[in-house]
Structure 1
């Protein structure tokens, strides 16, 4: 059924009086009738049909008002305000009769009676309604059978069935001089020609920015981007090199822009780290991480973190939650526009822009271009700069102001600058070296939620139970036990377990458990190293066990990342040949090294990024590995990315290793940080496991 607009429409007149013609007065009268019926009890079937049609027409009229180029800004604001009044009454009515809430879903089909009533209401409003047509067949959603609806999400929908309307006007075109030109091709080609630095001019940050929480400090380059957000900029392709704090910049940007709720779509390997960074940089905000079907999801959280692999199950309700900001981490993952994850991300962004006129949108990637400049396309679509075939209004207006066409000399350079100014930001480590420490370790907690991960957690529980049983048997033999005796008994049990574990040939113990954790982390560590290799160049991956190294090398091969290997069974000649290839061949992007065999005596300073796939038992061994790149001749700050298995003994081992590093710093460098009690890391880990189990 089609309709055309009659000359009279509801709008404000001069002097502030309201024109009571058009669709909105019809909707207002109808919604009052339904509200009155709900006040008397349950709404009748006819009233339910009227409720559904009112909601449908409110959505249609709001979408029309936001995109009507002939409507003045004052009329647009007044129309949206009055539609909000109708929506508020609908919300109050649904609160009285909660069965009406289901009728607000856009997916609910309309009956013949609803279509007939919609026609009558439009005719009453003065619209010319065309002949009614049979509803078009609905395309089957291939993902419909996989969609889930977490209980927490349904609770939020019931608590807030209407989203607050956004009354800000949507950008509109100011000219149509370039309307008939093909523009995307010239825009992509303009980035092939080089030119100035691919980064928008950023404002100078305040001398003492106060956006970071107590105990945290933003670096100068981070504060510059936040100042841009403070001044109203809302779309960014943040292409900083890894290690420059893109996650922190995104979270602080959301805070100063009040872009909550915020959706973060991230790779699986970093989603736990995102939750930790929320606690670190915006501790006043709550984050929730979607695992699997979202059984433990908190839909009332300020920040929802989801990994690409489960988007297909959650895209339905994510489109309706009312996000005001969205971050896509490692945004080059969506460069293939035909892939399912790209389509889902772009659908989410499109639904967000429909609900919010000026949302905060950030695409984070160190490698926005991998094969060709057309890799930009999906990212620019996500940011709302272009659609499938043309620039959108914000970019088109910038291109119109250039005053040139693609046939004119100078168009490419000027168009490139226009795109960059929309929000491309690129800083390299070497550019901001003064902001960074010369060497640092960054922990990346990962969730082991596959079968191997579950078996590791089960083995950890069984080991803890074995320790508890031994402790209780020892207590029973020594009654009474004073509080002073308890720490000594716990240590005695841990020492006995450690001694038996070192001698054991079979069975589960702390050594076999740590090895399994390394195997479970191998793929995640190699995936992250791949991202680094593609974004900043050469990377060194360290592991303790041969099977973990084998997994990493196999993954690099599948990802077309050429790698070399440093192992303990190599001859000196073979090892030097591998080192030389890594240092001199630009096509060799990764070195897979044994912690014990390659931790000393090697110079790998051509790389400034290190991935620690497995933890060392000693702080010294870890530092020796990192120092293979932090050597004379290294021109950039070195970052070591330590992969930590969250919610396992791996996290405690990392903490203990750091404590031993503090001990070394205190003894040799005069550092005054807290020092852990002496003892092996293995023993302290077992003591921790038993102590926690006894609680």
Structure 2
């Protein structure tokens, strides 16, 4: 973000920090932040002061990065300058706690206005820093437009049928005449209604008259009920069934029931071939074509067009003009970041489809719709046409109007939740609808690292904790007179953790949570592989998941030494090599272990021939962990499934495992109507840093005499 803002607001020469009290950028920022602090105490900040807050925070972040990288400064000079910046950051944090909406100005996708750009240049010049104002780059409608292609078969299809059949129902949809809610901000309350929990997030579905499917296939009752809903006319669904309950089959049969052809399917690269296979299986009279690369071999006359997120930018132009009657987005949590190009392209295609077809079939499929926050819903709801950037769209607003309530009334929230659910949220759990699927459990296996690895990792944790404590005390010393906190200031602890977390991805100096988890994963790789080998010898086929390539390498070397035949799924494989690996594991009795990348094999893979999973490295979310386990725990599984999670004892590994488990309640509370508490929507990395710093400060307090 800082780099993007420098381009917009002018380029400056690298700043050498000045350490006289009244020189350099820090005094300029200090005066501005004190002005902001005084203003927020008088009431809500004006737009001008909000802009000042954003610019001060941005410049402070940029200057911190420059100071850390400066080779002309001594360590003492760096520490002095960083201490002064911590004081500014503390005041900014206290200001934001009075007005939490200020945090949105610090997000990666926050708009940096022209006023902010001008103020930034002004502050830099006041600090005596040379600024070169750059001419703004010409605005392009879409930076990916130059890469777009139109396959030859698509051009031929247009020549054979140059006119799309108009849909005369467009424009006939009516809105209620009531405008009672027009002055209310509604998106925030709608998201809040899901945070509060309540009834199960499942729209009422009709009973199915038949479970028959093509050939000898048979639908499960929960699948047949969704198809019946489509047959009765419902057209938008957030299908959030737990992984393994046959969402692909439901989407294909829904398209058949709605006659939503041609149908567009957008999915991750790893599952697009599977969509073609499932089309042939569930709707054999329909033909699917899969787009690879520039689409030279695409069949534009097929009923179903499958494209992966990674190449969507090349094809979004002709796809938008193709005349699709339905669109399915698989693994829809991939579009939760609305600022990403793939999300923008998906939303563009949805909007263009809805502008040409009055009642298209729109389906978002995901077993894990929530990763960190309820806001993860936003892009999915927008794809489905329930909301736009600022408000609910007509069908949903009509339902909210019919409640007769406003967000000022507590009863609005359960009613609003139900209104959204009735738009098409369907969530079924294995325990409810697939009683024939055996139980699943996660069992932790603590392992002791060898002495050398253990000492190295503990030293790294101690170094990170020492740095956090030092930063905490530096910030504490800058507090204004009269501010007293008895014991640990937990608000400041969290602020320090957030600052550290923000720098982890940009700084390569010192230890951080990422580097420690990688080191721990490497250290326990051999132990995890040994455990998997024992399982394979005793109970049969085993699926081994790891995050890093070096861990996978160690595991495969271990299995080779143990005489275990194995295969693997990695991110750099071709689709053909991937299919060969899966077929070997599923069909060859001698292949006892498959070593899988969490990122490459966490979705779109059916490995139910095994019932034991070894998780050699921790995921950052419960959702990712669940996706991995559900490669085995699926319809057709005949044995109880156990996931063996390998945990390095007496390291931060243990704490992170606890944090992942504590966040597992988010989807349960928002989608399943569970009363389970959601501990926090903050990411696990920040929570791990909070825990590490809190533990270190607690130990420090025990060591020091009281009152010192």
What TM bracket, shorter-length normalisation? 0.3 to 0.5
In the superposition, the TM-score normalised over structure 1's length comes to 0.48
Largest Rg, 1 or 2: 1
Q: Which has the higher contact order (CA 8 A, sep 6+)?
A: 2
